[in-house]
Structure 1
């Protein structure tokens, strides 16, 4: 999107806002015509920016994952902390807080994930997060704060997969677990995954 002008970027952002509103109002349903009407533009403009309905859905999901990456995965929740565990416990809390505060989370992680374009994007982002998590585990191992015998990629995949499933379960419940309680349980699970073999 670096080749888009500031005006085009603003137009694209407005279309994404309209699509998000439509998805939330329709419980995951999205008709391109209704998004265009909501945004006050022609249907053709949506196709110009996103190529298809599937492209628009993937762009909404990509925006969600970009914000998750920025606020959870790439952020350092305790920049002055020397203790790996303290920092990562805070990151776990951030993940729960982000998903709980994000109205689109149940749709992106459940309903939209059935769309092939969104599923492909999710698979790509998951692979990136596993690599990031593995690098993070290696830093903990290099600092002597995590067991050197752990396989960083496997442990990262286990942790992220477990977190993902736990968050899906929490979001699907009629009454979600209290965020702090869920974060504590997730951190207990993560600490177990990082324990010496």
Structure 2
């Protein structure tokens, strides 16, 4: 992955820190102080404060997509084993990023972020439907299940299930959370 221009990355890093410290809010004066850059740099790189939030979300989502990509999973295992591992990667990514809870529970309400999330969920849902259909073709999943509907339900369960588990006090371990989510997936697909 190409490295972002220095000022841009400084602003992204400062925004992540400010979001965490500000419980989902970014104060421009604090952002300038933390990044050591001017408001002009913010507008140059992102166009607006909303554009900066969009970039933070896009960076988070790109990391998630990379964490659960097919090339991170073994090819020589059953569909269920591979997808159980993918679920674990999904949970580990969210639990490993301190910004995940804010992004999924608070920042996602920002209109620009909500629009991005909708697009991201749509792409993940389509990929899940194709994946389930392939599992049906391979004989691992009941062919009577509507693959596209199951994909939509599973992505919805993952999205809202991980947000709920991130809010829990005490937070479950990565293994516990992944197993809980996998049980929902396995149940939906009658595995």
- Interval of TM-score (by shorter of Structure 1 and Structure 2): over 0.9
- What residue number does 1:62 align with? 58
1:103 aligns with 2:98: yes
- What residue number does 2:147 align with? 152
Unaligned runs of 5+ in 2: none
- What residue number does 1:86 align with? 81
SS at match of 2:190: coil
- Structure-to-structure mapping, 1:8-19, within 5 angstroms: 9-19=5-15
Shift of 1:48: 1.2
RMSD over aligned Cα atoms: 1.7
1:181 aligns with 2:176: yes
Distance, in Å, in 2 between the alignment partners of 1:77 and 1:57 is: 28
TM-score, L = length of structure 2? 0.93
1:115 aligns with 2:110: yes
Which of 41, 46, 51 lines up with 2:42 in the alignment? 46
- What residue number does 1:71 align with? 67
Distance, in Å, in 2 between the alignment partners of 1:132 and 1:156 is: 8
SS at match of 2:24: coil
Shift of 1:168: 1.5
Shift of 1:77: 4.0
Aligned residues: 190
SS at match of 2:45: helix
In the alignment, is the contact (CA less than 8 A) between 2:91 and 2:178 conserved in 1? yes
Shift of 1:150: 1.6
